[in-house]
Structure 1
Amino acid sequence: MLTKTAPARKRSPAPDEDAAAPSLTLDEAALARARAREQLDDGAVTPGFGPWRDDIVRLLNGALATELVCVLRYKRHHFTAHGLASPAIADEFMVHAGEEAGHADRLAERIVQLGGEPDFCPSTLVERSHADYDDSADLQAMVRANLVAERVAVESYRQMIGLIGDKDPTTRRLLEQILADEEEHADEMKDLLEH
């Protein structure tokens, strides 16, 4: 009687047995001490940063302009809000202005860290901003304008995060932190609009 034998199963090698498996190794050329000494003016920007620095600085300057316009819009709304509900809403506008100013500071700091120049030029601020300035006199219109601007900011930060991906993890984390704040601002403006 003939018996069928099962085909032999190939045994997977243990991790230390597989010589062909890729290993995690550092780029020794990028780590070269002599090379690092030659490029001291680049600060934190090392050769591994790649060709993206100028594009990232440009994106960050757009975000900086947006944050600065948001500071100005919120401050104007704070000082010009009137009506029965205005004191509490005006206070919220000032809180948001302060938070947007903090975002602007962090963006400017990152731009400098990347070897760029933060663009604070007032004459081109509005055209470089993703969000609009608003000089509404009506409290509901102010809240609506701020909600629209926050939604624009949320979308622009999401797109920047997607574009940057793993090209610059530090900038990506910064943008993710700011995005979380902008989402919270949008929710707060939506709540004010509904009341």
Structure 2
Amino acid sequence: MNAPEHQQLKLDEQALQRARQHLDDGPVTPSYGPWRDEVVQLLQDALATELVCVLRYKRHYFTAHGLSSPRIAEEFLEHATQEAVHADRLAERIVQLGRDPDFNPDSLTKRSHADYDETSDLKGMLRSNLIAERVAVEAYRQMIQLIGDKDPTTRRILEEVLAEEEEHADDLADLLKE
């Protein structure tokens, strides 16, 4: 058996030359290739999802009632705050990629992967939020796979958000068992 040929690690000098042009594009160099607009669209939909989740968690925070409600409401508020941070990170990345984040309230629920919910009982709120977190986990996993090595910075951001979404789902699943 022959050993595989050693491939030299060497930077693409032509790509480095192209990076010296189009300075108005900021961090977006030509090597982003044809995927930038598709990555931005994935981010826009994820942004909508995070914003809908903030709204759902805030509603549940303010309307939670019952013996366990203060502790669960605080969990909802904590999650709402973290989802808002996720939305900010996604919006910031969209801007870095040279586009404007879409905060249009008229299209948020249409673009969101998760649903808004008006459940009024505590158990239903927990269940609704757990479903939304599981949907977010699946959406982020798929986005990470789709992006692969096409945009390492966006992939890293999505991986960090995914880890927090998994924590949210774990928290909610634990609260549902009580």
Moved over 4 A (4+): none
Query: Counterpart of 1:181 in structure 2: which amino acid?
Result: E
The secondary structure found in structure 2 opposite 1:65 is helix
Aligned to 1:63: 46
Q: What is the count of residue pairs matched by the alignment?
A: 176
Cα distance in structure 2, aligned partners of 1:21 and 1:81: 62
Could you tell me how far 1:38 is from its partner in structure 2? 3.1
Query: Counterpart of 2:47 in structure 1: which amino acid?
Result: L
Matched, 1:133 2:113: no
- The 5-angstrom pairing of residues 21-36 of structure 1 reads 21-32=6-17, 35-36=18-19
Cα distance in structure 2, aligned partners of 1:187 and 1:36: 43
Cα distance in structure 1, aligned partners of 2:131 and 2:33: 35
How many percent identity over aligned positions?
Answer: 69
Cα distance in structure 1, aligned partners of 2:166 and 2:7: 41
Q: Return the index of the structure with the highest Cα Rg.
A: 1
Could you tell me how far 1:59 is from its partner in structure 2? 0.1
Cα distance in structure 2, aligned partners of 1:168 and 1:37: 19
- The 5-angstrom pairing of residues 22-171 of structure 1 reads 22-32=7-17, 35-171=18-154
Gaps of 5+ in 2: none
TM-score of the two chains, using structure 1 as the length reference: 0.87
Q: Deviations over 1:135-158 (max 9, x none)?
A: 111010000000000000000000
Could you tell me how far 1:60 is from its partner in structure 2? 0.3
Cα distance in structure 1, aligned partners of 2:145 and 2:57: 28
Could you tell me how far 1:22 is from its partner in structure 2? 3.0
Cα distance in structure 2, aligned partners of 1:124 and 1:152: 19
Matched, 1:173 2:167: no
C-alpha root-mean-square deviation of aligned residues, in Å? 1.4
Gaps of 5+ in 1: 1-9, 13-19
Could you tell me how far 1:27 is from its partner in structure 2? 1.1
- The 5-angstrom pairing of residues 176-191 of structure 1 reads 176-191=159-174
